[in-house]
Chains A and B, each alone.
Chain A
């Protein structure tokens, strides 16, 4: 698939002797919702951590190709994945060295991949608005210290960042809590705020790690609408880990199933829910296939 926004090739991640991801290959289509499912311990969050730079993969490559720009080698941005041919080109060699020194998670976010966490990681002692402004730090200050003297250009940038944050907050119904501390918000709103905060980094590719965990069914429905909204209105590609099938199945365009560090199925929700390997992974080998339809 040449039109995929993210291509993962033979990606492996080992922690000592434990192989969490074993030569994973997958493609994610742009402007779509792709779900990553699998039993606990399958390596879903490990894959997310590799994608967003929290882990440096042991082997393999991850290529990100956003619309309108060239390919980006995500492993290189982390200062890893040195290849032999890099030695023969001073330009490539220099680039490798640069990312070795200044690479890291922030380089990946800069290219447009942002994530949320399974257990919300908000800045609890700061207000909702401050949370969003931290995410927009790059938009506010092109000159690091221009805010000390409050240059007009700085004020304009700050104003537009506040306006953007208010627009997102209003869009998702949090306009009234902008100046409340994050820790004072109810759990559902915290979950939403975390997604909005990720949106504030202006991503092209949004990784959501179990956004529905701990939400009730009404909140889950609202969340599904929110995710669709983000995809349709903002053109953000969404990659989502989720256990709640009532959320995943209706909204996703593609489902990838991971089990014990291996991709066991990939396809539309309908295809995947009938796949015998998936059923085996989820329900054990004795499960009668006649019941397959009930699950989805």
Chain B
């Protein structure tokens, strides 16, 4: 990046030139896309829309030039956290956590569900990050574990009568077993071959769920019971003679109570998962995952059992994915196989790659961006995937290692 043609001290003229060129180019491109709206056989010209878009693109260009300039002055291409910020990192984390805690009480139901899906994707990203980012095993079927978690909860409650809390250990065990089940046949595979087998695994799980009508309900789906807190339900009237949450606390019934509860629980789970993954990274197990990614043969020559390492990566990744599935089912209240398509796997993989393989902070950032982006871009619903693709391509050219480069642990004497 540093060999770029732009000189170290960009003048105002360059800024104006760059932004003008970008503006014109963007206007020409956006004019037919957004400026002309078809109405039957007629069309309507809305020329102000491409204007705004082109303006924002030009602004972005200025930002980019400025950033590129600044980066040339910096010795490292990675995101540098200033010393002052690092000193108050704990404080910052606590503040962020506090804001996240207060968040559900200040937004409406729609944004609350968006926040929940952000957290679910963070969880999924963290799970896949173990498999892809740390252990370097390209997994294109991660959605299978998500589905196992969601269906484990829904079917478990239907057939075994287990509730939300009992489902958590149940699903953890189930998902880890599935992870090991996938791990065994792919022990000797690498790269592309591994990706294809895992892709197949993801599709197998979805097709089984789709076609085993008697057991899973097939495409009709299955209902997942809402979560409870110490037996208190979040419904208007309790189903089994108990007292619902709002009655017990003397509150007005609100449909958001259930979402707020799920959100808070999910927030705690994400915090726990972040701690878990960060600790793992600094432990022999996490280090051996990374060693496996770097060089499998060297790994074996040092006495690491590569079978155990691969299986542990698959099973722990699957565990986090499964837990995310429970929350997904609990918040949707109803699941069917169409939620677990390959597209989801690709999306989760995007989160890991975009965030920077191996970096937990990157995963959190990327999950937030990727989940919020479609919501913000609601108006461009038809172009969402296109924009998404462009963003990915641009990212791969610019920052092939993702938003955040995973920082290595330092060891003092």
Contact = CB atoms under 8 A, between A and B. Distances in A.
Contacts, number: 110
A144 B287 CA distance: 13
Interface string A219-253: 00000000000000000000000000000000000
A138 B283 contact: no
Interface string A194-215: 0001100100000000000000
Residue of B303, B408, B413 most packed against chain A (CB within 10 A): B303
Interface residues of A, number: 44
A104 B302 contact: no
B291 A126 contact: yes
Contacts of B288: 134, 137
Contacts of A52: 301
B301 A133 contact: no
B220 interface: no
B9 to A, nearest CB: 29
Given A134-B288, A141-B284, A54 B294 contact: no
B300 A126 contact: no
Residue of B276, B302, B408 most packed against chain A (CB within 10 A): B302
A181 B408 contact: yes
Interface of B: 276, 279-280, 282-285, 287-288, 290-291, 293-295, 297-305, 307, 408-411, 413
B281 to A, nearest CB: 10
Interface string A120-149: 011111110110011101101100110110
Shortest beta-carbon contacts, A-B, top 6:
A109-B303, A123-B294, A147-B283, A121-B298, A137-B284, A105-B300
Contact of A114 (B293, B297, B302, B307): B302
Contacts of A165: 411
A105 B299 CA distance: 10
A166 B303 contact: no
A117 B411 CA distance: 26
B301 A117 contact: yes
Residue of B282, B284, B297 most packed against chain A (CB within 10 A): B284
A176 to B, nearest CB: 11
B295 A179 contact: no
B290 A125 contact: yes
A100 B237 CA distance: 60
B284 A140 contact: yes
A77 to B, nearest CB: 12
Nearest to B406: A125
A106 B298 CA distance: 11
B284 A133 contact: yes
12 contacts: A54-B300, A105-B301, A106-B303, A117-B301, A125-B294, A126-B408, A127-B411, A133-B284, A133-B411, A141-B285, A179-B408, A198-B302
Contacts of A121: 295, 297-298, 301
B294 A138 contact: no
Contacts of A198: 301-302
A44 interface: no
A185 interface: no
A161 to B, nearest CB: 9
Residue of A52, A117, A133, A144 most packed against chain B (CB within 10 A): A133
A88 B183 CA distance: 35
A228 to B, nearest CB: 23
A106 B294 contact: no
Interface string A92-118: 000000000000111011100011110
A212 B299 CA distance: 22
Contacts of A129: 411
Residue of A105, A181, A198 most packed against chain B (CB within 10 A): A105
Q: Is the interface of B mostly helix, strand, loop or mixed?
A: helix
Contacts of A140: 283-284
Nearest to A104: B305
Contact of A133 (B287, B295, B410): B287
A268 B287 CA distance: 43
B356 to A, nearest CB: 12
Given A140-B284, A141-B283, A201-B303, 6 more contacts: A54-B300, A106-B304, A127-B408, A134-B284, A145-B285, A148-B279
A95 to B, nearest CB: 18
A162 interface: yes
Nearest to A111: B303
A50 to B, nearest CB: 14
Nearest to A115: B301
A124 B299 CA distance: 12
A144 B408 CA distance: 22
Nearest to B294: A123
A287 B167 CA distance: 80
B413 to A, nearest CB: 6
A178 interface: yes
A127 B301 CA distance: 18
A123 B408 CA distance: 13
A109 B301 contact: yes
B320 to A, nearest CB: 14
B303 to A, nearest CB: 3
B283 A148 contact: yes
A147 B302 contact: no
Contacts of B307: 104
A157 to B, nearest CB: 10
Contacts of B295: 121-124
Contacts of B301: 52, 54, 105, 109, 114-117, 121, 198
Contacts of A124: 294-295
A109 B297 CA distance: 13
A166 B307 CA distance: 30
